[in-house]
Structure 1
Amino acid sequence: MPENKNPHVYRMARFLPFDPSHDQIYEEYQVARDSLNLDTAAFDYVLNAAKAGAHVIVLTGDAGHGKTHLCRRIIESFLGYNEEEARKLINEACDGRQVIKDKSGTDAAGALRIFKDFSEFSPQIAADLVEDSNTDDAVTIICANEGRLRAVLSGKEAGQYCAELLRSFDASFEDGKASRDGRVHIVNLNHQSTAAGSDGQSLGDLALRDWTSGTRWRSCNDCDARHACPINRNREMLSERVDGEVAVTRKAKLRLLFATLERIGYVITIRDMLMAFAYLLTGGLKCEDVHRMRRRHRRGWQQAYAFYNLAFESPDTISKEQLKRLPLMQQLPKLDPGRRALREIDERIVNQQEIFTGGQLDLQFPAPSTSDEDLIDASQGIDEIIGDPRNKKQRAEEAENVTRVVRALRRRAYVDGIGSTTLDMVHLGFPYGADFLRVVYDQMDVPARAILKKRVIAGLHHIQGLQFSEQTPTLHLVDPAFGRSMSGTAILAARIKPANVDLLRLSEKWGNSDEVPYHVKKSVDWIDRHIVLRIVDQKSEKHDLQLDLMTFDCILRAAAGHVPTRFYEHDIRRVAIFLGRIAQAAHSSSDQINLIRDGRSQTISIDGSTIQVGAGA
């Protein structure tokens, strides 16, 4: 069979920063055959807002979220232009000075004024243009990252209209509304999640389904390297048409990886996602690279290019400098399941047989130099790796081979769903991650929530340096004037009843999305990335602290008795400042001092010249 070249492989290569034609990933330079039009919630929201007569729509978020892409598609859907015409208008008529009218010229649909990028102007000029756009002749769309947007709207040249937009922008963080009146809309794409949605409907699932569909891979059927090609193997592992339900599970595990990164504070843009998927499917290889490596390398080289290995460890053909151009690939190794030993998983993949089908391309490793075998089939565990090392070098090589194979098997076990789902977050390094997910998915009944609150309160006590002889459901707050207690005695500023401590989803704090008009959940593909720790003080005032997955994990580790203070230093400081602010605002009796001594609560009262010491409340 001939050495074929699949055009789709080269299309994916253009999404990688290793290729000279990488500029095709940017909307302004893209050609129609490379475009991937994902139907995002943001697109639907912006289109509906424009049709409803919005005055201005602000699209904010980091570079790569698809602000320019959204504008191009709105020009198509709202004004009736085709893709090529809309892309030309993006490049020539979207500086905010021009009004783009309906293609028919009848103004039947309306008109758009688009600021494609505020960074093209100085803040002063941009502010003047925004003030001038305060007219009713067109729907204005403003695209800017958060920093640039604030610089323009709060600058010296900013007028009343800029001030109004800035107030709407700031208010959106407090009340979770994309709009107050349907006139000014704030669509914050930093809230957009590539992992939002279930049943294969997330943006990541849609992109993978498009790129692994059968019609794009027909040319591989006649290729002589098909059965030795890691690119084709990755496609098969992630294609529901080929691997069925297992492929669904694998994509669900990738979706969990992305969601976990978002929940520890990393913002994944659509551009990041597409570059990552192009890399995970191809490993930076093209068809001619596969043919060349197949001829020149020993068998077993393909396992390094399995998508689940590429996610956490780069192959030898990718340099560190190249990998730095893929932002997401700098973050995923933090969650590497291959570096975490779980007895339930390791015993199955190392000692039990027939967990994986034998002869799979991604599980075949080159045999060590001490072995007479050509290949090691990792589906049979690590028995074949153990040779007869005669010297230090051979022992080191054997240990390296065992480590490489076991890590790959752990990763494969994760993406294939080997083991219970309760271990997923543990596999990614978050032993209390399952509790976090149960809160954000509202899967906790009242007794379970009460138990979790008790553990959170214990963690808050540990962070303050409080030690009790037995666990208490009441939250004790140390007087901030005395700092973190380390001597066994602490003076208390307030006690908070368990009923006044609660854990909420961030979206729940902002109200029911079905009842609140213009709720932020309707403006973007949304997942709850934070849990809100709410404490109601003695004056019935609510104090909220947003906990991402990392901070939540820190608190529950503290509840278990130990937390690595250096690693969680930032999170501990945030929590301590939050608790100190509540304690400082609390009122305490002037003739009574509450304290914790040797793990027990006590009170000191002054009655004239007599000091009385008693048990605490």
Structure 2
Amino acid sequence: MSEMKNPHVYRMARFLPFDPSHDQIYEEYQVAGDTLNLDTVAYNYVLEAANTGAHVIVLTGDAGHGKTHLCRRIIESFLGYGEEEARKLINEACDGRQVIYAKEGVSANLGLRIFKDFSEFSPEIAANLVEESNSDEAVTIICANEGRFRAVLASDQAGHYCAQLLNSFEASFENGKASQDGRVHIVNLNHQSTAADEDGLSLGDRAIRDWTSGTRWRSCGECDAREACPINRNREMLSERVDEVAAATRKTKLRLLFATLERIGYVITIRDMLMAFAYLLTGGLKCEDVHRMRRGRKKCWQQAYAFYNLAFEAPDTLSKEQLNRLPLMQQLPKLDPGRRAIREIDERIVNEQEIFKHGQLDLQFPAPPTSDEDFIDAADGIDEIIGDPRNKKQRADEAENVSQVVRALRRRAYVDGIGRQELDMAHLGFPYGADFLAIVHDQLDNAERTLLKRKVIAGLHHIQGLQFSQQTPILHLVDPAFGRSMSGTAILAARIKPANVDLLRLSEKWGNSEDVPHHVKSSVDWIDRHVVLRVIDKQDDAHDLLMDLMTFDCILRAAAGHVPTKFYEHDIRRVASFLGRIAQSAQASSDQINLIRDGLSSTISIDGTTIQVGAGA
């Protein structure tokens, strides 16, 4: 055996912004060996639209979603070009001024006109080009982020065709349809999820499977550093060929981690995802780094490079500036399960034996200075860390060692599925996250839905400052003219029956995807990132509030009696504004005032010169 270098490790390094060849992650500069072609729902939708007579297809979304990558693959599939030929055309013939026709020998009724990047033109020039592209000789594909696209379509040079595209674009947000007529298609890649898994494999799952399987790791079998290599250890933990059941569980937990980020409002692009997985597998190390650190470092340095530790805490070989180049790594620490104590899990990982196998590379830690051992095996819990500190420094070192080991064990417990599945979201910091998932996965029966609605209504009351002597299923709305109740007395504008309050998935708000042509779910890899609070007022008008996981968590915390107002200030303001709009539209009787006082409902009626006070409805 000898010190080997695995080319695949260096391929993954090119996806990281620490490497000089990082530009390989951008479609325009990629070489075929670095390409990772993921068959996304968006790719299949765009290809189908082009084949069935689409006039224009708009690909909108943040940089990194793969708009240029999609265009290159459509050139290959629709017009018959090879990968390198298509990439050359992307760089030379995709400014929207020319039509790319099918390769000789390929039957295609239409060519492609592609606007690769609207930012290359001023809004006025881009608007003129869009107007000129309104012809039936080619399928037009426009790539632009939302802000730039709106600026172009609303510029001074925008004409009738631009106005038509703008109307279709804005309508897609209201009705959840990627196309109104089958000719103009809006594919919003900001709706695309790296964690959508309706087919059993998310985009993230497919990327991990591609990078951890196959013959790419064969050279590692002949390397003398294999047993001490954290990169190889990460690959083994996530490869289904090594342990199918354990790897599937770990990928499921990573998928939930990414889905949770998306559900609190963070948009994860495919570029973000690929950089994150390259980092989680390698920790920014290459083969020569592993060989050098193995020779020069003490034992047990590898645990810092376990993928589940890298997700939340950077190793000391990476600077803060380097880590800042990985956008996703700025977000994941917010969900760190290592910093949240759950008694049921802590008692198992700290006190019980045989939870984890002994001798695993990622669970070996340096022994404290007061110990006679060279290292400790965290599979034995924390007993070996507890020594006999004699001074303040030794006590501080011991406390830091205990914290480090416990955090790592909690993270490993999360990715290995130690503990009940119902605790997963609490492990990530959302004690009411399981309720949110029950809605988006349509897992609530009638009794459970009724109970959850009561909790939501109680939370809405708390946000308005209402206090009741006992929980009520009726939603009371404070008159917006009097603001939030603070004195124990509140004047009400309306009462909403529980039957008129509902909780829906966002996709359900737009109708069943199987019945609605061109539903947004058919255009991208989709997860429901919001639940909809629907309130129907006395005029039978439906008012909808889109709640992401943070807003939902805020309301359920309020239902429990306390919500940190500073932390949830934005969410509280949104919810209060929503309730105020409903209250303002409600019709109130001019001769009766409904109020809440000391937790009880009352009415005040005026009969001539007589004021009557009675119990409320």
TM-score, structure 1 length as denominator?
Answer: 0.99
- Within the alignment, does 1:424 sit opposite 2:424 as a pair? yes
Contact 1:78–1:109 at 8 Å: present in 2 too?
Answer: no
Residue in 2 that maps onto 1:112:
112
- Within the alignment, does 1:575 sit opposite 2:579 as a pair? no
Please list the CA deviations of residues 6-31 of structure 1 after superposition, one character each: whole Å capped at 9, or x if unmatched.
Answer: 00000000000000000000000000
| Equivalent residues in 2 for 1:64-83, closer than 5 Å | 64-83=64-83
Residue identity opposite 1:274 in structure 2: L
Q: Which stretch of structure 1 is more off in the superposition, 73-82 or 194-203?
A: 194-203
Residue in 2 that maps onto 1:216:
216
Residue in 2 that maps onto 1:533:
533
Deviation at 1:434?
0.3
Contact 2:503–2:531 at 8 Å: present in 1 too?
Answer: yes
Residue in 1 that maps onto 2:203:
203
- Within the alignment, does 1:228 sit opposite 2:228 as a pair? yes
| Equivalent residues in 2 for 1:63-462, closer than 5 Å | 63-104=63-104, 108-198=108-198, 200-462=200-462
CA distance in 1, matches of 2:436, 2:16: 34
Q: Which stretch of structure 1 is more off in the superposition, 385-394 or 180-189?
A: 385-394
Residue in 2 that maps onto 1:38:
38
Please list the CA deviations of residues 379-406 of structure 1 after superposition, one character each: whole Å capped at 9, or x if unmatched.
Answer: 0000111111111111000000000000
CA distance in 2, matches of 1:241, 1:23: 31
Counterpart secondary structure, 2:457: helix
Contact 2:5–2:219 at 8 Å: present in 1 too?
Answer: yes
Query: 1:74 and 1:289, CA in 2 relative to 1: closer, same or farther beyond 3 A?
Result: same
CA distance in 1, matches of 2:214, 2:380: 31
Please list the CA deviations of residues 56-90 of structure 1 after superposition, one character each: whole Å capped at 9, or x if unmatched.
Answer: 00000000000000000000000000000000000
Please list the CA deviations of residues 301-350 of structure 1 after superposition, one character each: whole Å capped at 9, or x if unmatched.
Answer: 00000000000000000111001100000000000000000000000000
Deviation at 1:199?
6.5
CA distance in 2, matches of 1:407, 1:373: 21
Residue in 2 that maps onto 1:486:
486
Residue identity opposite 1:143 in structure 2: C
Please list the CA deviations of residues 30-71 of structure 1 after superposition, one character each: whole Å capped at 9, or x if unmatched.
Answer: 000000000000000000000001000000000000000000
CA distance in 2, matches of 1:250, 1:563: 33
Residue identity opposite 1:27 in structure 2: E
| Equivalent residues in 2 for 1:4-15, closer than 5 Å | 4-15=4-15
Residue identity opposite 2:555 in structure 1: I
Residue in 2 that maps onto 1:615:
615
Residue in 2 that maps onto 1:553:
553
Residue identity opposite 1:339 in structure 2: R
Counterpart secondary structure, 2:112: strand
Query: 1:106 and 1:470, CA in 2 relative to 1: closer, same or farther beyond 3 A?
Result: closer
CA distance in 1, matches of 2:485, 2:304: 51
Deviation at 1:214?
3.3
Please list the CA deviations of residues 124-170 of structure 1 after superposition, one character each: whole Å capped at 9, or x if unmatched.
Answer: 10000000000111000000000100110111111111111011000
- Within the alignment, does 1:523 sit opposite 2:523 as a pair? yes
CA distance in 2, matches of 1:165, 1:590: 47
CA distance in 2, matches of 1:317, 1:170: 47
CA distance in 1, matches of 2:371, 2:452: 52
- Within the alignment, does 1:22 sit opposite 2:22 as a pair? yes
Deviation at 1:244?
1.6
Residue identity opposite 1:94 in structure 2: C
CA distance in 1, matches of 2:20, 2:368: 37
CA distance in 2, matches of 1:415, 1:200: 18
Residue identity opposite 2:374 in structure 1: D
Residue identity opposite 2:381 in structure 1: G
Residue in 1 that maps onto 2:588:
588
Residue identity opposite 2:532 in structure 1: V
Query: 1:362 and 1:106, CA in 2 relative to 1: closer, same or farther beyond 3 A?
Result: closer
| Equivalent residues in 2 for 1:593-608, closer than 5 Å | 593-608=593-608
Query: 1:415 and 1:76, CA in 2 relative to 1: closer, same or farther beyond 3 A?
Result: same
Deviation at 1:370?
1.7
Residue in 1 that maps onto 2:62:
62
Residue identity opposite 1:609 in structure 2: T
Residue identity opposite 1:77 in structure 2: S
Residue identity opposite 2:377 in structure 1: D
Please list the CA deviations of residues 283-305 of structure 1 after superposition, one character each: whole Å capped at 9, or x if unmatched.
Answer: 00000000000001110000000
CA distance in 2, matches of 1:141, 1:232: 42
Counterpart secondary structure, 1:59: strand
CA distance in 1, matches of 2:611, 2:23: 77
Deviation at 1:110?
2.0
Counterpart secondary structure, 1:543: strand
Please list the CA deviations of residues 418-454 of structure 1 after superposition, one character each: whole Å capped at 9, or x if unmatched.
Answer: 0000000000000000000000000000110000001
Residue identity opposite 2:508 in structure 1: E
CA distance in 1, matches of 2:374, 2:81: 59
CA distance in 2, matches of 1:592, 1:84: 76
CA distance in 2, matches of 1:496, 1:28: 56
Residue identity opposite 2:576 in structure 1: A
CA distance in 2, matches of 1:388, 1:559: 46
CA distance in 1, matches of 2:517, 2:54: 15
Q: Give the RMSD, CA atoms, in angstroms.
A: 0.8
Deviation at 1:109?
4.1
Residue identity opposite 2:394 in structure 1: Q
CA distance in 2, matches of 1:434, 1:557: 13
Deviation at 1:104?
1.3
CA distance in 1, matches of 2:181, 2:149: 21
Counterpart secondary structure, 1:4: coil
For structure 1, the 5+ residue unaligned runs are none
Deviation at 1:200?
4.2
Residue identity opposite 1:328 in structure 2: L
CA distance in 1, matches of 2:36, 2:200: 17
Residue identity opposite 1:79 in structure 2: L
CA distance in 1, matches of 2:275, 2:399: 34
Q: Name the % identity.
A: 83
TM-score, structure 2 length as denominator?
Answer: 0.99
Please list the CA deviations of residues 467-496 of structure 1 after superposition, one character each: whole Å capped at 9, or x if unmatched.
Answer: 000000000000000000000000000000
Counterpart secondary structure, 1:57: strand
Contact 2:80–2:106 at 8 Å: present in 1 too?
Answer: no
Contact 1:23–1:30 at 8 Å: present in 2 too?
Answer: yes
CA distance in 2, matches of 1:243, 1:304: 22
Contact 2:488–2:597 at 8 Å: present in 1 too?
Answer: yes
Counterpart secondary structure, 2:242: helix
Q: Which stretch of structure 1 is more off in the superposition, 219-228 or 152-161?
A: 152-161
CA distance in 2, matches of 1:132, 1:370: 78
